[in-house]
Structures are given as structure tokens and as C-alpha cells.
Chains A and B, each alone.
Chain A
Amino acid sequence: MLRVTSIPRPDWKKQAAKYGFHFHTLYGEPYWDESAYYQFTLKQIEQDLEDPTAELHQMCLEVVDWVVRDERLLKQCQIPEAHWEAVASSWHQRQPSLYSRLDLVYSGQGPAKLLENNADTPTSLYESGFWQWLWLEQQVDTGHLPRQADQFNSLQEKLIARMQEIARHYGINQMHFACCKGTEEDRGTVQYLQDCAIAAGLQADFVFIEDIGLADTGVFTDLSDHPITECFKLYPWEFMLREDYADALKGAAVNWIEPLWKTVLSNKALLPLLWQRFPNHPNLLPAFFENELPAALPETGSGQWIKKPLFSREGANISMLNSKGELQSQLSDGPYGEEGFIIQAYEPLPRFDENYTLIGSWLVDNQPAGISIREDTSPITQDLSRYLPHIIA
């Protein structure tokens, strides 16, 4: 695993405009960065990332199967009691999932460690599945990269195939897609999934989350008053289960993507539950519920622990603890935490030049489908991270 500096394609911004990639620069800071790329060996990709990703996913599914049968665990995951039955039945019906992203700490050697599972609302999909793919194709075509250079990235192919499976599963030729207003990045992610759905032969209608309506017949509607029967939502389940329409979810009978059982996986309670179920697994970091700490914390490489809320997003409300579990420093502020915390052994991100590097490892349904690389100048928060492409050589 190397970081290699590289010459950006001179016309990449023009191409971004043509293909509708509007969030390559966010808040005046570069987000897409092709001034360098990461280079992996095929062995690193297959043995250290692809295989563990498949295995970690299966372990996560085992945790779901465990949680939905146990009221104590459903409570510990802070899933509102009114929805326990719906969570369990979405799992027992095997409602199809589309995709997930595992965030891994990996330096090129040793086992990759699972940091988090973005199983419900993962973003950076477009820049992974399409935009870095296009970068590689063009860099090879212009001779800037060798012809045999490859990339671990079958996302688009797999997303289209999965959309076809989901359409067959539900017997549909149309699906809705939804995200919140006012975020170009989320809208871009959803537009990409609409493109994949269209390539899969579906009609893909869009509605903003805030515009969803409730009809006299109990179904949800879009702005044209058309019923929403199948819907991809880039909006967290933990919010939906607590908002005004939560009570209408059952009657509306929407087949949601991601399905409701994903709320177990996108919850940071997953991390201590994985550690309980698979203690000392090489791809896991020790993790505990804050209210169930063992008498003595195990020793860890860094000697430090990270404390995070069950529902934190964007790296909010994170603190660093010392080896005894005492507060060392608060790393970020935020609105989360009411729902409780977990602690996880602190595994520093590997450093390449001045950058700390995080790997996002994608799954489409249960198949590993590629990686994305994000870099940050800060070792923990990933608040201003940049996206870099990668190659296999």
C-alpha cells in the first residue's frame, strides 16, 4: 500500500460538470483529490480487505439475528419498543438490502480493523463506483497508468444487478428515491442510485424526505400524490422511528431500502455486540457498552479508548479515554449522546506523508464490491476528509 503522487487530468473539472459530479469541492475545500492515488497489491486487496469484508459482514448478520430475538438487546440498541416487531419481521422476511460500507483501519500489513459499519445510509458511493472508475480508465488510456492497472471497484456492475434482483423480489418496475433537502452530496448519491436503477430497467422517481405525504388511505405519497410502495431512503432509521410519521410506517407498508433490520447494523451498539460474540477476532477492535465496562479494561496497542454515542454521525460527540477508561480529552462536540455511549479501543489511522488514511470497504448485498480511500489531516475526526482514487498494480 503506497501513496503515489500523480498529475490530475487537466479537464477533470469540466468532465465533472458534464457527468453531474457537483460536490467535488465542498465548502471551499477540495473533496475529490487526484493529485495522488493509493496503490495496492492484488494480495493486499483480496486477502486483507475483500475476504475480511465478506467475513465481517456475515458476523454482523449473525448479530442482527441475535438482537432481533432478544428484547434486552433491542433495548440496548435503543430501538423504540413500538418497532421491535417490525424490525424482527423485516429480518425474518429477509427483506433485501442494497449496500453497506465498512470503515476499516488498514496500513498495508496486518489485519484490517473494523472501525464502524455504515449499513443504513452510506455515502461517497458515486465517487467510488463511477468517478474513480472513470479516472482509472482515462489515466490508462492516456498512458499515465500502465495498461494492466486495475481497481477494486465492481460497485456499479453489482448495484445494477442487485437492483434487478430487488425489482424481481418485489415484482416492481418503479421505485422511489429519497433524501433530505439542501445537501448536494446526498442528492448526488441518490441520483447515482437512480441512474443504476434506470440501467436495471426501473422507473426511478425522486421525492425529498421532507415532502413525503400521508394519504387518506394510509399510504405515503410523493409530491404528485403518487403512492410510495418501494423506496430507497438516504435517511437514518433511528430518525424515522422517532418522527411524526413513525406511527404511520406500519400502515403505509412501504418496502424500504435499506430495510428496517439495518437499523441494528448502523447502530454503534453493533461494535460491543460483535466483540461479545466474536471476542479477539483479528478484524475487530475491543469494544464495550459504557454502562457495562469490565472491571479492568483489556490492554490495547494504543493504550487509549474512543468513546462514541450509539447514533453519532459525522464524528460528533467523540472523546478520548485513557487506558483506565477515564476521560482524557473531548475531541468533538455535537447533539448526540442521550441514547448512550460505547467505547472502542483506539486504533490510530495509518499515516502517509501528512495524511491519515481511512478505507471504506463496500458491500452490495453480501458481496464485497470495492474500496474507497479518504484522507484527513486529523488522525480521528475525518471532518475535512478528501477522497483519493486507488489502483491495484
Chain B
Amino acid sequence: MTNQKRTRSINLAQMRKGFALKPLSVGIAGILLSACADDRQEAKIYTSLEDCTRDNPGATAQCEAAYKTALDEAARTSPRFNSEYDCEYEFGANQCRQAESGGSSFFVPFMAGYMVSSLLSPNRYYSQPIYTSYSPYSPFRSRWISADGYVFDGDIRKRDYRVSPDVYKPKPTVNRTINRGGFGSSVRAKSSWGSSSRSGGWGG
């Protein structure tokens, strides 16, 4: 059709929401796999400490640091589920463990590996946890995914990726956040009014 008035095609797989069952929270992946940046840098996925040292003989300390960084990051950002069932539905049987944070308890998948770039460059080196799924119900089955549900291309046999380094506008510095909640007070004020309206939102 030459004069079609509607969107030509939509990648339906991309429109599927990452998690089949909604996690309590998901983390934020620190890297971007941009399709258009041409100065991306090499990144590798390792599934164990030994995997890394085998690939980088003489860099045991760096491998250990990268592994530890990824584990710390996983503790902070891994997807969290209400129940073991929800977690296993997404990641597969025996792929989840109970964890606690801030007094609440939830289930998280085991870190399946970690993605490292510029391992030997102390300033630019990068490491983040990577997950995979063994669940037949999950779109992530046999794929690598990041903490926020980003699905890497190829299956888990693929270990080499190119990731986008920080070539974009530099971000301003933040040392600490001094307070929060300076936006949103109008909602609290106006929401107290009636409830005949079905729409709780502030869109129009």
C-alpha cells in the first residue's frame, strides 16, 4: 500500500513487557547497546571468576574486582519478586534465592555471569551482572539479560559484545541528594477532592 495512513510495522517481540510476571522492582543497567554508535567498545561476558582469569592471564586482581563489582551491583539492582514462584516462572526452577533489604524479603535470580569492558583500563573499566533464564515460559530463555530486562542479541553461547562508551554529553556531578519530594504536592492537594472521576492520573 503506497498511501498507508498507519504505522508500517511494529516489532511485537519488543512490545512484550520484559517480565512475564511483574517484578517488585528492576535495576538500572549502566550500559547501553546502541545500534548506531560506531565507536563502541568491546565487552565480554564471563560466567565465573575462572572464566575471566583464563581469558586474562595475569589480571587475577582485576577479574576479582570485576566479579565483586558485579555481585555488589546484583545485590542492589537484581529484579525482585514477591514469591519464589514468580521468580522461578521467569528464571526457571532452582534459579532463585531469597534475599532481604531494608527489612523486606523477596526473591531474586542468581547472577548468571557478568559483563566486563575495558578490564585492563582502571578508569574506564566496567562490570555489571548478567542473568539468563531456564524457564520455558520466559522470553529470556537461553538469552543474556541485564538487570533491567534488556535482552542482549544472540543466545547464551555469544560472549562478545560491543557496548557504547560514554561519548555523549557529559553528565553533571552529583555528590549527594540533599532532599526529595519537591514535586508532586499539587497531586496530593487535588486528589483529596472527590472520587467520581475514574482517572487518577494527571494526563488529559
User: A174-225: which have CB < 8 Å to B?
Assistant: 174, 179-183, 185-186, 189, 191, 195, 198-199, 201-203, 205, 208-217, 219, 221, 224-225
A38 is an interface residue with CB less than 8 A from chain B:
no
CB distance from A29 to the nearest CB of B (A): 7
Residues of the A chain whose Cβ atoms lie less than 8 Å from the Cβ of B11: 199
A4 is an interface residue with CB less than 8 A from chain B:
no
B203 is an interface residue with CB less than 8 A from chain A:
yes
User: A131-184: which have CB < 8 Å to B?
Assistant: 133-134, 136, 148, 150-157, 170-174, 179-183
Q: Which chain A residue lies CB-closest to B177?
A: A213
Chain A interface bracket (under 10, 10 to 19, 20 to 34, 35 or more): 35 or more
Of B8, B175, B178, B197, the residue contacting A157 (CB under 8 A) is: B8
Interface string of A282-296 (1 = CB under 8 A from B): 000000000000000
B32 is an interface residue with CB less than 8 A from chain A:
yes
A240 is an interface residue with CB less than 8 A from chain B:
yes
- Beyond A121-B204, A153-B7, whether A214 also contacts B182 by CB under 8 A is yes
> B168 to A133, Cβ gap below 8 A?
no
Residues of the B chain whose Cβ atoms lie less than 8 Å from the Cβ of A70: none
A61 is an interface residue with CB less than 8 A from chain B:
no
* Most chain A CB inside 10 Å of its own CB: which residue of B187, B193, B202: B202
CB distance from A16 to the nearest CB of B (A): 11
Interface string of B164-179 (1 = CB under 8 A from A): 1000110111111111
Measured between alpha carbons, how far is A226 from B183 in the docked complex, in Å?
Answer: 17
Of A174, A185, A235, A392, the residue contacting B199 (CB under 8 A) is: A185
CB distance from A152 to the nearest CB of B (A): 5
Measured between alpha carbons, how far is A18 from B139 in the docked complex, in Å?
Answer: 11
28 chain-A/chain-B pairs, Cβ below 8 angstroms = A19-B17, A27-B198, A29-B198, A45-B5, A123-B204, A133-B6, A152-B5, A154-B6, A155-B7, A157-B7, A170-B169, A174-B168, A180-B201, A183-B199, A185-B199, A201-B36, A212-B182, A213-B181, A214-B177, A214-B182, A229-B169, A234-B203, A240-B183, A244-B182, A333-B196, A335-B189, A335-B193, A384-B198
